[in-house]
Amino acid sequence: MEPRVAVVGGGTGGTIVANLVARRVEAEVTMVSRDAGHLYQPGLLYVPFGWVEPEQLVRTQRSLLDPRVRFIHDTVLAIDPANRTLRLGDGELTSDTLVLATGARLVPDEVPGLAEAHHFYTPTAALRLRQALDEFQGGHIVVGVAGVPYKCPPAPLEFALLLEWELRRRGLREKAKLTYVSPLPRAFPIESVAEVIEPVMTRRGIELATFFNVEEVDPSRRVVRSLEGDELDYDLLVLIPPHRGTAPVVADGIADRGDWIHTDRETLQVTGYDGIYAIGDTTDIPVSKSGSAAHFEAHVVADRIAANPNGAAPTYTGKVMCFLESGEHQATVLQFDYNHPPRPAAPNFAAFAMKRLFNRAYWYLVPPGRV
Amino acid sequence: MAVELQETKVDRTIDARGSYCPGPLMELIRAIREARVGEVVEVLSSDTGSRRDIPKWCEKARHQFLGIVDEPGFARLVVRKAR
C-alpha cells in the first residue's frame, strides 16, 4: 500500500508540501482545507488604498494543486495525534505522515475595544478600512500592532509608509498626523532593519511611540492605552489584532497557551510525535509568521518526506526572505536565518520592482514549488 | 545574585536563541501576557541586544527583572510577572 500523506491547511506552506510530495513520492496525498479558495495575503496591504480588489488575490485551491493531490474541502474538528487521525466535519482521515499547516487566526476580542479599530488582514477588514480612508478628511491616524506574535512583521510598517505617501497624493498630508506604535524600543523587531527604516519615518514625519503594547481601546473617547501605561488619542486607528494558532486542530499537549504547536525548529516535527510535521504560522518556532517562512519550511518538510530513510534528512535553517515596501516606489529586501541577521539596503526602486513582480509571479512560482 | 538566580524556580523557559524576528523581547512579552502574576519566565537569547532591551522593557512595563545568567554562547534572562 502506498504511504498516506495528509496535509491540513491550504495556505502557502500546505499547498507547496502537497504538490512537491505528490510529484516526488509514490504516495496517496490528501489535502484538507476549510477554504475552497487560496488567498494571497500579502496583497491585502494594497486593498485599503484601492490599488487592488480582494477578488484579484484569490484562486481556487483545486487549481493550484497537482492533479494527483486529493482535495477535501472540510473542517478539521479534532486530531488524534497518536494515530494521526483527523476527525472531519464529514468522516475521518488517517495517515502515515501528517503535515499541519493550519495558519494563525485573528483574535481581536482579546483586547477590549479592539473590534472597533481597523486592520487589513482579512478582505472584509481591508475594505472597511478603505471606506474609512476614503472618508478621512484629517486628524490623527495611529497605526501599529495590538499583540505579538503577528503575521508578516513588516506589514503594519509598510501600511504606515504607504499611507503617508497616499495622503500626500490625495492632498491630505498637511491635515494628518501619523503615529506608529511599536511594542519594542524601535520601529521593527530586527535592529538592523530599524536602523534603515527609522530615518525614513523621520524624514516622512511619522512619529514613533515605542514600548507601546496595546492593552485596550476606548472607542467612545477615541483613546488607545498600552500595557506600559501610556495613552494616545486618535481619529483613525489601524491596529493588527492579536493572533493565535488554529484552535480546532489543537489536541491536548500539542500546543502552548497561545495555541501555537510545539515544533522542532530544525526538523519541523511536532514535539513528541514522529510522523507529524508543522509548518508556517501555526508553529511555535521563533521565526516570523510569514508566507516566506512557510514557503522555506514546506520545502524542508517535502524533502524530509521524500528522503531515503537511511540518508541525511534536511533541516530548516530559519530562512526567511521578505520585502519591506516604503512607498514612493521604493522597497528593501530582508533576508535572514537563525545565524545571520538581515543586512538590508536603503529602500530602492529595484527592490520595489522585484516585490511587485513577485506579487504577480507568486501563483506560477510558489504554490507549485518551483522556487 | 547569580547563585540565587540559579535556584529561582522558573515556570517557563523560552528558547529564543537564533531568533531575530520577532526576536527574544517579543517572545518574552508574549510569554508574560500568557503567564500568571508571580510566575517566572526565562528567555534564552543569543542576541546581545536582549541584554539591553529586556531590562529596559521590564522597567517601562513594571515587571521584575531578576537578572542574567551567562551560558556559553547565550544568556538566560529571567523575569517575574509583577502585575
pLDDT band, very low/low/confident/very high, at A113 (cuts 50, 70, 90): very high
Question: Which residues are CB-neighbours of A266 under 8 A, at least 6 positions away?
Answer: A315, A316, A317
In this structure, of A13-17, A46-50, B26-30, the range with the lowest mean pLDDT score is B26-30
Q: Is the pLDDT of residue A309 over 80?
A: no
pLDDT value of position A155: 97
Cβ atoms of A194 and A154 closer than 8 Å = no
Backbone angles phi, psi at A61, to 5 degrees: -60, -40
| H or E stretch at B13 | strand B12-15
pLDDT of the residue at A254: 86
Band of residue A149 on the pLDDT scale cut at 50, 70, 90: confident
Let me know: does B81 contact B11? Beta carbons within 8 Å: no
Q: What is the pLDDT of residue A209?
A: 97
Q: Considering only A111-120, A132-141, B26-35, which range has the smallest mean pLDDT?
A: B26-35
Q: How many CB atoms lie within 10 A of CB B52?
A: 12
Q: Which three cell numbers stand for residue B48?
A: 546581545
- Provide, rounded to the nearest whole percent, the portion of chain B with pLDDT above 90: 52
Highest mean pLDDT among A49-63, A177-191, A277-291: A49-63
What was the pLDDT predicted at A47? 98
According to DSSP, the residues that pair with A326 across neighbouring strands are none
Ramachandran angles phi, psi of A191, nearest 5°: -60, -45
pLDDT for B7 equals 80
| Residues from chain B contacting residue A339 (CB–CB below 8 Å) | 18
Residue A177 pLDDT: 98
Chain B contact present for A153, CB below 8 A: yes
Cβ within 8 Å of B, A 277-336 = 286-288, 318, 320, 336
Q: What is the pLDDT of residue A184?
A: 87
- The contacts of residue A346 (CB under 8 Å, 6+ apart) are A196, A332
Which residue from A minimizes the CA distance to B46? Answer: A339
H/E stretch holding A5 reads: strand A4-8
Average pLDDT of span A78-102 = 94
To the nearest whole number, what is the mean pLDDT of chain A? Answer: 94
What per-residue confidence (pLDDT) applies to A279? Answer: 97
The answer to whether residues A152 and A42 touch, using CB atoms and an 8 Å cutoff, is yes
Determine, for residues A286 and B18 on separate chains, whether the beta-carbon distance falls below 8 Å.
Answer: yes
Model confidence pLDDT, tens digit, residues A231-264? 999 999 999 999 999 855 656 778 887 889 999 9
User: B32 is written with which cell numbers?
Assistant: 508574560
pTM score: 0.91
Q: pLDDT tens digits, residue range A117-139?
A: 999 999 999 999 999 999 999 99
DSSP A298-349: HHHHHHHHHS-TTSPPP-----EEEEEEEETTEEEEEEEBTTB---PPPPBH
CB-based burial label for A73 (10 Å; 0-12, 13-18, 19+): middle
> How distant is the alpha carbon of residue A350 from its chain centre?
24
Mutate to test the interface with A, among B21, B25, B27 (most CBs of A within 10 A): B21
The pLDDT, as a whole number, for residue A199 is 97
Least confident interval from A51-55, A149-153, A237-241: A149-153
SS (H, E, C) B46-64: CCCCHHHHHHHHHHHHCCE
Our measurement of the distance from residue A207's CA atom to the centroid of its chain's CA atoms, rounded to an integer in Å, reads: 25
- Tell me which residue of B56, B59, B30, B61 sits closest to B43, measured CA to CA: B30
User: What is the percent of chain A with per-residue pLDDT over 90, rounded to a whole number?
Assistant: 85
CB of A10 closer than 8 Å to CB of A31: yes
CA of A333: how far to CAs of A196, A322, A350, B41, in Å? 11, 6, 10, 34
CA atoms of A98 and A316, how far apart (whole Å): 18
Residues A98 and A94: their CA atoms lie apart, in Å, by: 9
At A13 the pLDDT is 98
Name the minimum distance, in Å, from the CA of A94 to any CA of chain B: 32
A93, A30 contact by CB (below 8 A): yes
| Predicted local distance difference test score (pLDDT) of residue B49 | 85
Q: How confident is the model at residue A10 (pLDDT cuts 50, 70, 90)?
A: very high
CA–CA dist A159, A146 (Å, integer):
15
Best mutation target, B20, B27, B56, to test chain A (most A CBs within 10 A): B20
Q: Do A287 and B53 touch (CB under 8 A)?
A: no
Residue A107 has pLDDT above 70, yes or no: yes
CB of A189 within 8 Å of a chain B CB? The answer is yes
pLDDT of residue B2: 56
Q: At what angle do helices B24-34 and B50-61 cross, to 10 degrees?
A: 30
Could you write out the DSSP letters of every residue in A22-72? HHHSS-EEEEEES-SEEE-GGGGGGGGGTSS-GGGGEEEHHHHS-TTSEEE
For A99, how many CA atoms within 13 A lie in the half-sphere containing its CB? 38
Alpha carbon distances (Å) from A83 to A19, A79, A203, A256: 24, 9, 57, 21
Position A36 scores a pLDDT of 98
Nearest to A256 by CA among B11, B49, B52: B11
Of A292, A279, A302, the closest CA to residue A323 belongs to A292
